[in-house]
Amino acid sequence: MYFGKPKPPKDTERVPPNQHVTKTFPVLHAGSVPYYKDLTEWNLQVYGLVNRPLLLNFEDIMKFPQTKAGNDIHCVTGWSKLDNSWEGVSTKTIAEAAEVKPEARFVILHAEEGWTANLSIDDFLKETSLLAHSHDGEPLTPEHGYPLRAVFPHRYFWKSAKWLRGIQFTKQNHPGFWEKNGYHMEGDPWKEERFSWD
Ligand SMILES: Nc1nc2c(c(=O)[nH]1)N[C@H]1C(S)=C(S)[C@@H](COP(=O)(O)O)O[C@H]1N2
Ligand SMILES: [Mo]
């Protein structure tokens, strides 16, 4: 018997529990959006448990091998946005350039205004993790993290720091902004790790 073409996977199979799909790109953050007059006002520090601390400007970022990634993002407030395309630098590339020491087990992401997020070194270095300067073929808008943001699609999107200014490699796990406010240290959307008690 002929049943026709195999069906593509349903969106529901791509959407973690208790999330709904939105076609829009919501803007969500604490604090205010930085508007840089020019990119000399921006740099990225890579430090902590590394052999080669780095102070990178935007040109340095663009000189690294560039990578593209397609993925879905899941905000802990309940929206998921499917089929994003990002361009930037793989987190592995940055870690290699800084020569991260073997004793580094966690990462603190530092954004403008002292906002932070924490994650394990494995989450940071995952194949799908990147630092993105573009979304869907266009440079990030100020609201979405211009000039550079982290993207960790396998974690709730709050870990994906916008307006990234520092990457600190540490031995201990230091809770970031939302993690101090009751959010989960890992934040796996498939396990619904929303709050620290989940
Ligand atoms: N610097 C910074 N990055 C941040 C946040 C923030 O408050 N400050 N919020 C996070 C949260 S909760 C989400 S859902 C995403 C939202 O990214 P978007 O505004 O590009 O959709 O950014 C994350 N990155
Ligand atoms: Mo979020």
Would you say the CB of residue 62 lies under 6 angstroms from ligand 1?
A: no
DSSP 8-class letter at 26: -
Mean pLDDT of 126-154: 98
Ligand 1 mean position, distance from CA 85 (Å): 17
Task: Give me the pLDDT at residue 13, please.
Answer: 87
In the chain, % of residues over pLDDT 70: 94
Task: Give me the pLDDT at residue 58, please.
Answer: 98
Would you say the CB of residue 27 lies under 6 angstroms from ligand 1?
A: yes
Task: Give me the pLDDT at residue 175, please.
Answer: 98
Three-state secondary-structure class, residue 100 = strand
Ligand 2 mean position, distance from CA 88 (Å): 21
Mean pLDDT of 85-96: 98
Would you say the CB of residue 110 lies under 6 angstroms from ligand 1?
A: no
Task: Give me the pLDDT at residue 166, please.
Answer: 99
- Name residue 48's amino acid: G
**Model-level pTM?**
0.95
Which residues 6+ apart lie within 8 Å of 181 measured at CB?
Answer: none
Q: How far is CA 63 from CA 42, 57, 66, 182, 192, in A?
A: 16, 10, 8, 38, 37
Minimum CA distance residue for ligand 1 atom 7? 29
Domains along the sequence of the chain with CATH:
43-185 (3.90.420.10)
Task: Give me the pLDDT at residue 120, please.
Answer: 98
Q: Using DSSP bridges, classify how beta strands 138-139 and 67-74 pair: parallel, antiparallel or unpaired.
A: unpaired
Instruction: Give the pLDDT confidence of 2-23 residue by residue, as tens digits.
Output: 566 666 566 668 999 999 999 9
> Tokens representing 169?
């490699």
Instruction: Give the pLDDT confidence of 33-76 residue by residue, as tens digits.
Output: 999 999 999 999 999 999 999 999 999 999 999 999 999 999 99
Task: Give me the pLDDT at residue 124, please.
Answer: 98
Would you say the CB of residue 155 lies under 6 angstroms from ligand 1?
A: no
Instruction: Give the pLDDT confidence of 93-126 residue by residue, as tens digits.
Output: 999 999 999 999 999 999 999 999 999 999 999 9
Task: Give me the pLDDT at residue 6, please.
Answer: 62
Task: Give me the pLDDT at residue 61, please.
Answer: 98
Does the CA dihedral 49-177-195-162 come out positive or negative? negative
Task: Give me the pLDDT at residue 2, please.
Answer: 57
Minimum CA distance residue for ligand 1 atom 4? 161
Task: Give me the pLDDT at residue 39, please.
Answer: 96
